[in-house]
Amino acid sequence: MVNISKSFGEIKANDNITFSVNYGEIYALLGENGAGKSTLVNMLSGVYTPDSGEIYVHDKKLRFSSPGDSIGSGIGMIHQHFKLIEIMTAAENIIIGQKRSFIIHRKKLKKTINSISEKYGFKTDPDKYIYDMSVGEKQSVEILKVLYRGADILILDEPTAVLTPQETEKLFTILKKMKEQGCAVIIITHKLHEVMEISDRVTVLRRGEVAGTVNTSETNPKELTAMMVGKAVDLSIDRPAILKDEVMLEVKDLSLIDRDGIKKLNRVSFNVKAGEILGIAGVAGSGQKELCESIQGLERRKRGEILFRGEDIARLTPRAIFERGLRISFIPEDRLGMGLVPTMNIVDNVIMKDYYLQKSLFLDREPARERAEHIVKMLNVHTPGIYHPVNQLSGGNIQKVLLGREIDANPDFLVTAYPTRGLDIGSSHLIYDELNRQKMKGVGVIYVGEDLNVLLSLCDRIMVLFEGRVIGTVDASTATKEDIGFMMLGGKEC
């Protein structure tokens, strides 16, 4: 790609980017969120058209105007969110969109798929239905799909975001095989250790520009981070010791059956001490969301006890909990769909939880205005003003507004679900620091996370959920990623 530029409105997503990938090499594109990685590969895969610049494949200048053009020239894109049809088998998914013939030669198809699988080391059964597959298997089908179409340039967008460590290991083995077979592999990621582990060369993007291209063997994580952020950053996360030995929240035999009759939580029991951060790990959809909402009082269809300083709050609504003087702050996973009102300004969002305490019929926004200003200053929120709608802020700043409101309420207990999802390194660390500050104040914290490295270094203990059950709780200072990954799959061999 030579001198590629692309703008969205006023924003330059990519500015004069040039890079090249050789066959037989694994190439990493590294950058923070919003650095322009996805835009770049979307142009390569024909989803977007560049404003200027040229793309050469096999020394031939090409201009893609649709994903079809891109596939035709041997580029295969594996998206972060799979595009598979659940009720079809792997083989059926693989041939979707192929125009070659009207009749499907199942036998021949299976043979072709099996030979590709063998070549690269996949263990995929072509007749297995997608809905029966684990996330890792689904990803294999996605890769097989592009290989079947004859792709020899593979682009993987954040391929490990949804995988357990074991599955990641397998994926990397496959990628290395592909490299040996002469494919060009491009992986997009913001995880440094993966770049170090698997790539041959890496290009770092920063704010839509190339910050540098280096050979992986000649660099180290520190240097890469500095390139990503533009300055040296301390990557370590503190873990202050727990001050008191006082159990703040105790959950006993919590079960929950959802509207469709599916058991989301199954006799979950645990406790959190004052001044402790309890991490919750698990594959997406293992009951984390339901657990958080149960504690906060949002989920009503539950059984069991939730004792907060000895008082059972399991049957109370959020407001009833609040009225008893128990301050449970909650940072939900869905920031704009639950935590905030996207079209409202910061002031109106800040007032959301306690406006009803005002005596008058009318709404006095003055105290909220002061608090909004305080939050903007305290967390360094980048906004044109406190009367700016929150959905026009960037992801990190949106999260800061939400975190600011929840912390400013002086909580006794803080439930956070993926608080740093989508945030860049700088903002993430700001949030870890803030959580630690709350911890030092004696606040009990539940931290639902997906990055095991962060969970291991931030939390005191980590509880692993699988299909709504507690598989086990480990001490974060002694556990390893592999232990947790193993438990995330229910303790079964994957």
Partner 1 sequence: MLRMSARTDCSRNEAVIIRTSAILLALSAVAVFIMLLGHNPLSVYLSMIEGAFGSGYRITETIRKAIPLIVASLGISLAFRLKFWNIGAEGQIMMGAFGATFFALNFQNLPSVILLPLMGLASIICGGIWGAIPAYFRAKFRTNETIFTLMMNYIALKWLTYLQYGPWKDPGALGFPKIPGFTENAVLPAFFGLHIGWIIAVLLIVIMHIFVNHTKRGYEINVVGESENTGRYAGMNVKFIIIYTIFLSGGLCGLAGMIEASGVNKTLSVEITRGVGYTAIITSWLSSLRAPVIAIVCILFAAMIQGGTFIQMAFQIPQSAAQILQGMILFFVLGSEFFIKYKISIINDNKAEANQ
Site string for partner 1, 275-314 (x = CB under 8 A): ---------------------x-x----------------
Q: Are the C-beta atoms of residues 258 and 264 closer than 8 Å to each other? A: yes
The whole-angstrom distance between residue 472's C-alpha and the CA centroid of its chain comes to: 23
Q: By CB under 8 A, is residue 339 in contact with partner 1?
A: yes
Query: Binding partner 1 by CB under 8 A: which of 63, 123, 193, 324?
Result: 63
State the Cα angle at 328 between 260 and 244, rounded to 5°: 125
Of the listed pieces 54-62, 76-84, 269-277, 427-435, which binds partner 1 according to CB under 8 A? 54-62
230, 200, 219: which is closest to 29 by C-alpha?
200
165-173, long-range: CB < 8 A, 24+ apart: 165/452, 165/481, 165/482, 165/484, 165/485, 166/482, 166/485, 166/486, 166/489, 166/494, 167/134, 167/135, 167/136, 167/139, 167/494, 168/194, 170/136, 171/136, 171/139, 172/197, 172/198, 173/121
Q: Are the C-beta atoms of residues 183 and 9 closer than 8 Å to each other? A: no
Name which of 69 and 209 has its Cβ closer to partner 1: 69
Query: Binding partner 1 by CB under 8 A: which of 5, 16, 47, 69?
Result: 69
Q: How far is the CB of 26 from partner 1 (least distance, A)?
A: 27
Phi/psi at 113 (5° precision) = -60, -45
Bridge-partner residues for 280, per DSSP?
448, 463
Q: By CB under 8 A, is residue 353 in contact with partner 1?
A: yes
Residue matched to tokens 């494949």: 57
Q: How far is the CB of 272 from partner 1 (least distance, A)?
A: 21
Q: By CB under 8 A, is residue 385 in contact with partner 1?
A: no
- Rounded to an integer, what distance in angstroms lies between the CA atom of residue 448 and that of residue 292? 9
Residues binding partner 1: what is the number (CB under 8 A)?
A: 41
Instruction: Considering only residues 318 through 337, tell me which ones interact with partner 1, judged by CB under 8 A.
Output: 318-319, 322, 330, 332, 334, 336-337
Q: How far is the CB of 390 from partner 1 (least distance, A)?
A: 11
Q: By CB under 8 A, is residue 258 in contact with partner 1?
A: no
Q: How far is the CB of 467 from partner 1 (least distance, A)?
A: 24
Q: How far is the CB of 122 from partner 1 (least distance, A)?
A: 31
In the complex, the residues that contact partner 1 under the rule CB under 8 A are 8-10, 49, 51, 60-65, 69, 296, 298, 317-319, 322, 330, 332, 334, 336-344, 348, 351-353, 355-356, 358, 361-363, 392
